Amino acid sequence: MKVIGDKTTDREAYIPGPIRPEILDVLTGRRPYPRSEQVAAEVAARRAAAKEKLDRERARHAELLHSDDRLVVHLVELHAPDNTHSWPVCQGCDHEGYESEPPSWPCRTWSLLAEEVQR
């Protein structure tokens, strides 16, 4: 099987790149094709872990809002999550460019602040 071919002459064998290594292993027969139940379980586990992490970050954010240090409170308020998108974005970080996606929350600034402030 030809993995990457010429689009004009090898239409059946042409696979546009880039291809993730695990997909390439399935296509070349080095790894069996995963069952849909297995993939669904892996996706559900990853989503649950991401939701759990985000819940911990939100709880830490709420905790930092009640800090005695006014600078910490102002920075935490500035870098608060905005939930109007399909994923939480940081209200305080600037976009990288006109067509860039909004920065995800928790951002680097918030993560560093949460890490450095004593609980």
Note the pLDDT tens digit of each residue in 68-116: 888 888 988 888 888 787 788 888 888 777 777 888 888 888 888 888 8
**Do the bridges between strand 81-82 and strand 89-90 make them parallel or antiparallel, or are there none, so unpaired?**
antiparallel
Q: What is the pLDDT of residues 50-70, one digit of tens each?
A: 999 989 988 988 988 888 888
> Which token pair is 58?
């939100």
pLDDT band at 46 (very low <50, low <70, confident <90, very high): very high
Beta carbons of 91 and 79 less than 8 angstroms apart: yes
User: Which residues are CB-contacts of 88 (< 8 A; sequence separation ≥ 6)?
Assistant: 54, 81, 82, 104, 105
Sequence spans of domains, the chain? 56-116
Beta carbons of 89 and 105 less than 8 angstroms apart: yes
**Helix, coil or strand: residue 90:** strand
Cα angle: 4, vertex 10, 16; to 5 degrees: 35
Read off the pTM.
0.59
